[in-house]
Chains A and B, each alone.
Chain A
Amino acid sequence: MPTRQVVVFLGLSVLLLAVVVELVRRRTLRVEYSWLWIAACLTSMLLIVRYDLLVSLTALVGAVVPTSTLFFLCILYLALLCLHYSIRISRLTQQVKDLAQELAILRVAVDEAEPRSGEGAATR
């Protein structure tokens, strides 16, 4: 790989990694969501530094040019990320539903325990 390409892409990968780590540090991104991103950054760095690995990987999967292997890896990664999000969203949906039901039940209990503040003040 030409040195210019190595420098540019390595720089971009390092930048992305730094952004992800900083987001985690600021608690904007949760740790359990960050590992897929960190894995992607490290993988791309590895493949940039060791281009021969990409070439042998290309031979292994039977692709013709290393670029196709790279694109394939990218798409696979994005698909995994989407699946990961779908799983999280399913769980969140379930949790939101449970919370909403619980909230409604508790509200009935609270309303029955102490009547509306206006009426309550009058009767006390």
Chain B
Amino acid sequence: MTEDIRALSAQYAADPSSLVFLRLAEALRRRRQLDAALKIALQGLSRYPHLPEAHDLYARILTDKHDYANAFDEWDTVLRLSPDHLGAHKGIGFLYYRAGEPDHALYHLRLAAELDPGDAGLRAAVERVAGGEEIWEAPMPEAPPEREEEARAVTVAAGDPFAGLEGAEERLLLVDQDGFRLGGGLLSSDGVDVSEAAAAVLAGTAREATRAARMLELGEWGHLTVEAAGVGVCLLRPTPDTSLLCTMDAGLPAGQLSFFAERAAKAARAWLERVR
């Protein structure tokens, strides 16, 4: 194994942009050299951010490091990129089982077993979680249990992220990556509540900003500011999976809008940390 790692390291050093990082990091992981594995996996991910195998590998390393929350997010990313990814379904199934959510665990483990029917260990795991062999006679659910909706409901029930901030209900709007309103509110210049309409477009706008910044090599984007009729608008991402819109009268200095937006982003981050 040591020689394998040496050989793989040499290959990786000769061509850092190759996919050999997957094998090298996996070899290091199996040797329990987790920090080294993590470093290689992250280097690979920075080059191949849309490669499901890279996220899957990273998730396995995070799991070995007992960082289950981030591992879950990584496998969730894998399933967004590749919905039938065997490793991600197994991984998420394991994490759900570990978290005491057998229904969700079972859904993902059964999907994994369908993808790899020859894996006897996986079949045994499904039967163990289900409590018997008769699980195979039950129809496979078409969709996972409504965890995401539940999580959103919990988040929204946790109060407003901008409570106490000026303009919390009319000039600040926080949405998740699917455009679901998490907090705040937005009024048009004539006082109409436009929160839902803006929320629907906000996440997509943030995704376009991310794409433009990446492809034009602008680095990670910090803010998108917009001047419109009578209003200044600032769009930020308090976290990678949320978007925040702040508006302010156009007559005020641009610096004041930035300050206001940064303050709101900080409040949103603190609130998200609390509710998550």
**Does B bind A?**
no
